[in-house]
Homo-oligomer: A and B are copies of this chain.
Amino acid sequence: MPITVVGSIAFDAVKTPFGERQRMLGGAAVHFALAASFFDVVRMVGPVGDDFGEAELDVLRSRGIDVSDIEHVQGGRTFFWRGEYGWDLNSRETLDTQLGVFEHFAPSLSGASRASEVLFLANIQPDLQRAVRAQCQDTRFAALDSMNLWIDIARDSLVDAINEVDCLILNDAELRQLTDKPNLLSAAQEVLSWRPAGGGCVVAKLGAYGAALITPDGYFSIPAFPLETVVDPTGAGDSFAGGFVGYIASQPPGSRLTAALLRRAMAYGTAIASFNVEAFGTERVARLTLAEITARVAELRRMTSFSVERFRGVRGGR
């Protein structure tokens, strides 16, 4: 099933303990689209400025991504973000954010983008997410990401947006902030309880610790793929979302969202995110192959499997 993603397309300047880049292709929609492109056609919706050129478009086109809904704003500048990571890559400081063309972004989707059966609303203002959601009437599966800023200043709209999609993908700290619950499981269950029609799922991104999936039926947890060196965590969450949503989109239309399917989707998201962080920006995922992804998914399965042997209880039935 084709996938439409709406979100930021950016240039990032990033410094990590392993080096720095002054200007590289980034943004949530870019990281998502590259990851999801292994599974079906991805249609990107978002604005860019005069500084966004053929070189950047070619990175996307080379993965078969439909760039026709990338809106070139004449005289504008592309969204720019500068950040620096600490020693262990768990802390990140934003040094500069220039919204550029994103400041007046009003998403308008072509017929093709509206018709996609799968929709991902990357982290943007929740009213914009809702406006896009309303344009896509044929969607069979919609997911959204958000951030602490919108919880702070637009919580009501964000809650409405969440209730209009099938899946919320959020960092665990943001999930706890959103629900004012100190505990991941109870926070996710609170989000599920908001849904008028029941159902749905919540994916909690746990950073270096992996991700958890909470549905009304149960709980699933998968660790991050262990790496000796993480070069640049930027975009890991969106790469995860691209793999997760992309794997769901790879199923035949009408497939049921079974627990088995969602769990495999979690594994694909985890695998692609782990490649994303092996190099700066999009460098690694842009040259990634499907064979590498499936090999890592199989390794993840081996790393999390254990057998339950009936414990004989040396000390009897205590």
Contacts and interface: CB of A to CB of B under 8 A. Distances in A.
Interface in A230-271: 230, 247, 250, 260, 263-264, 266-268
Contacts of A307: 260, 263-264, 301
Interface stretch (A23-31, A76-84, A108-116, A204-212): A204-212
Interface stretch (A52-60, A127-135, A140-148, A177-185): A177-185
Interface in A273-318: 289-290, 294, 297-298, 301-315, 317-318
Interface string A165-195: 0000000000010000011111001000000
A313 B294 CA distance: 10
A292 to B, nearest CB: 11
A306 B182 contact: no
B87 A227 contact: no
A303 B259 CA distance: 11
A263 B308 CA distance: 9
Interface residues of A, number: 64
10 closest cross-chain pairs (CB), A and B = A221-B223, A263-B306, A209-B209, A88-B182, A185-B226, A186-B228, A304-B304, A219-B226, A250-B314, A185-B228
15 contacts: A63-B318, A212-B223, A218-B302, A221-B226, A250-B311, A250-B314, A260-B306, A267-B308, A290-B311, A294-B308, A298-B308, A301-B308, A304-B305, A304-B306, A305-B305
